[in-house]
Structure 1
């Protein structure tokens, strides 16, 4: 679950928000209604990093298994008429 709070509220209730994040809840801090910062447990950040690394490795493996197209090398000028 995600809890959204304003920056002012985050300043007033930081300890409470840290406890929520430690319990597994994601906290999004907004400024002028726009999300700016996310507070999560460190384990969650490590898990996300691992997930992204695995996705990158799968993509790289897939690209390496495809045949090369041997397209001609393009220069900047090739994009202008």
Structure 2
């Protein structure tokens, strides 16, 4: 289960949190009592995940790019 810690405390104790996370612990960071982030140990991608990434990248390399024409920034972000 995640240990809950406020954002202010997490900021002050970041080095400790990193050490504990490296050791397998996880933390739920809150701001004004609301969850905003989770600090969890990093994991290596699985063999299946690496294979799926390679398949996707291979398919993307084979696709031709679409000619979308030119547009202005205003047209791109028009509401």
| TM-score between both structures, scaled by the size of structure 2 | 0.53
Give the number of equivalent residue pairs: 47
2:38 is matched with 38
Give, in angstroms, the shift of residue 4 of structure 1: 0.7
Displacement over 2 Å in runs of 4+: none
* 1:41 shift after superposition: 1.0
1:13-61 Cα deviation digits (max 9, x unpaired): 00001111111111110000011100111118x57xx6xxxxxxxxxxx
Distance in 1 separating the partners of 2:19 and 2:7: 17
Please give the alpha-carbon distance, in whole angstroms, between the structure 2 residues aligned to 1:8 and 1:39: 14
1:6 Cα deviation after fit? 0.2
**Which of the two has greater helix per residue?**
1
The aligned residue for residue 18 of structure 1 is: 18
TM-score, length-normalised on structure 1?
A: 0.52
Q: Which runs of 5+ in 2 are unaligned?
A: 50-79
Runs of 5+ in structure 1 lacking a partner? 51-81
Instruction: Kindly report the root-mean-square deviation, in angstroms, between the aligned alpha carbons of the 2 structures.
Output: 1.8
